[in-house]
Structure 1
Amino acid sequence: MPNISEDTMMFRVDNEENNAAMVINAVYQSLITKGYNPINQLVGYLLSGDPTYITSYNNARGLIRKLERDELLEELVRAYLKDK
């Protein structure tokens, strides 16, 4: 039987200046401008890692690829829980 710990693992992200919010906003605006549903496209990218979900307009695809998906998810969760 595998040794399964009952302890909760800690996930820590460096407290360096995070530009994930800026990237998400820029990508969001580019997707809107090109007529895409930004929620669907961002979710598709986050789940699959396939950058073709993101338009290349205004270098949005290049911007989003500069960050790891976990950094983007962290920013999204932070923003969602901010007012909770």
Structure 2
Amino acid sequence: MSSMDNTMKYTVPKESNEPEVRQTLIEVYNALQDKGYNPITQIVGYLLSGDPAFIPRHNNARSLISKIERDRLLEELVKVYLAQQRSE
């Protein structure tokens, strides 16, 4: 049996709390919007690549987002999205 047949369990380290992650994403979103970028595509680019160049230094956005692990950001985005879908 190959490892592709087994389900792996992933656990995200709980280094930062939800309000901090949400506030960081909001601040980064606003900084991207201020600079005229499409915030969604820029954040996706950052999450997929890990390259901080997708996030501007404007309003300290690059520094803020770099303090939070990408897997933690993804976890929060998925959690909020799915909670919203369940409430509709």
Q: Which residue of structure 2 aligns with residue 12 of structure 1?
A: 11
8 Å Cα contact 2:24-2:65 kept in structure 1: yes
Q: Tell me the residue number matched to 2:76.
A: 75
Which ranges of structure 1 fall in alignment gaps of 5 or more residues? none
Runs of 4+ displaced beyond 2 Å: 2-18
What residue is the counterpart of 1:37 in the other structure? 38
Give me the TM-score of the superposition, normalised by structure 1: 0.84
Structure 1 stretch 3-12 or stretch 70-79: which is displaced more? 3-12
Structure 2 Cα separation of the partners of residues 60 and 37 of structure 1: 14
Secondary structure in 2 matching 1:30: helix
Q: Percent identity?
A: 49
* Partner of residue 46, structure 1: 47
Is the 2:16–2:68 contact (alpha carbons within 8 Å) kept by the matching residues of 1?
A: no
More helix by share: 2
Distance 1:15 1:62 in 2: 17
State the alpha-carbon separation in 1 of the partners of residues 24 and 55 from structure 2: 12
Count matched residues: 83
- Aligned residue type for 1:42: I
Once the two structures are overlaid, the 10-residue window that deviates more, 34-43 or 8-17, is: 8-17
